[in-house]
Amino acid sequence: MIQELKASYGHIFEEALINEIIQVGTYKEIPEGYKLMDIGEYIKGMPLLISGAIKVLREDNDGDELLLYYLEQGDTCSMTLTCCMSDAKSEIRAIAETDTKLIMVPVQKMEEWTAKYKSWRNFIFNSYHNRLNELLTTLDSIAFDKMDMRLIGYLKEKARINKEDTIQNTHQEIAYDLHTSRVVISRLLKKLEQMGKIELHRNYIKILDL
């Protein structure tokens, strides 16, 4: 765990901070599909990703989900930080997109490290900045892109995150992530197949030329 932490964050944090994270952090290995946190829960720690990926989702009043962004190696979730610092309930759902390794940092250390370590302050500010940009990209996509372009972007990002050209999600799962209907997704996927962009199989989608 120590070497993995240093590989992911050693170029960001001072040695003293790395040592503190090792002392107080809780190392976890999370399987694909595991729900790390849910809407309405209180959060007692902040995740530092060592490997893998986590998808962060929002839910509307009807219970429909929308994919906001992914967290990857070297990332953390600024929304989680906000909830931790204010002792507020989570407004997001976080699910492991792939098998993931992370370290949970206790909430009581966050304010202390913000005052103590410049690298931690910079990391938190950069995290807020990066997540805000990702949220704006998602908002722009919803507001300005047609669903076919959103779907293509989604498939590309899934392939990048999973580091393979096959996507295991069902049409309904994709529809949930993009906040639309399964019928619409199935129709657009069929269109992409006819264009030679993808291949549709019973249990997966193979990307050819997106």
Burial class (CB in 10 A: 0-12, 13-18, 19+), 3: exposed
Of 80 and 93, more confident? 93
Contacts of 49 (CB under 8 A, 6+ apart): 8, 71, 72, 73, 74, 75, 76, 100, 101, 102
**Distance separating alpha carbons of residues 207 and 192, to the nearest angstrom:** 10
Of 65 and 54, more confident? 54
**Distance separating alpha carbons of residues 53 and 59, to the nearest angstrom:** 20
pLDDT band at 59 (very low <50, low <70, confident <90, very high): confident
The residue-averaged pLDDT of 128-157 equals 87
The residue-averaged pLDDT of 35-46 equals 86
With a cut of 70, say whether residue 85 has pLDDT above it. no
163 and 173 Cβ atoms separated by less than 8 Å: no
The residue-averaged pLDDT of 17-42 equals 91
CB atoms within 10 A of CB 137: 13
Mean pLDDT (the chain, rounded): 88
The residue-averaged pLDDT of 69-98 equals 82
Residue 84: per-residue pLDDT = 65
The residue-averaged pLDDT of 140-168 equals 89
The residue-averaged pLDDT of 156-165 equals 91
pLDDT band at 134 (very low <50, low <70, confident <90, very high): confident
| Bridging pattern class, strands 45-51 and 35-37 | unpaired
pLDDT tens column, 183-208: 999 999 999 999 999 999 988 999 99
Residue 189: per-residue pLDDT = 95
Long-range (24+ apart) CB contacts under 8 A made by 12-15 are 12/74, 12/119, 12/123, 13/117, 13/119, 13/120, 13/123, 14/117, 14/119
Tell me the domains of the chain and their CATH numbers: 2-143 (2.60.120.10), 147-207 (1.10.10.10)
Residue 65: per-residue pLDDT = 82
Task: Give the closest residue to 49 by CA, choosing from 108, 117, 123, 113.
Answer: 123
pTM (predicted TM-score):
0.77
Angle in degrees, CA 71, 14, 51, rounded to 5: 25
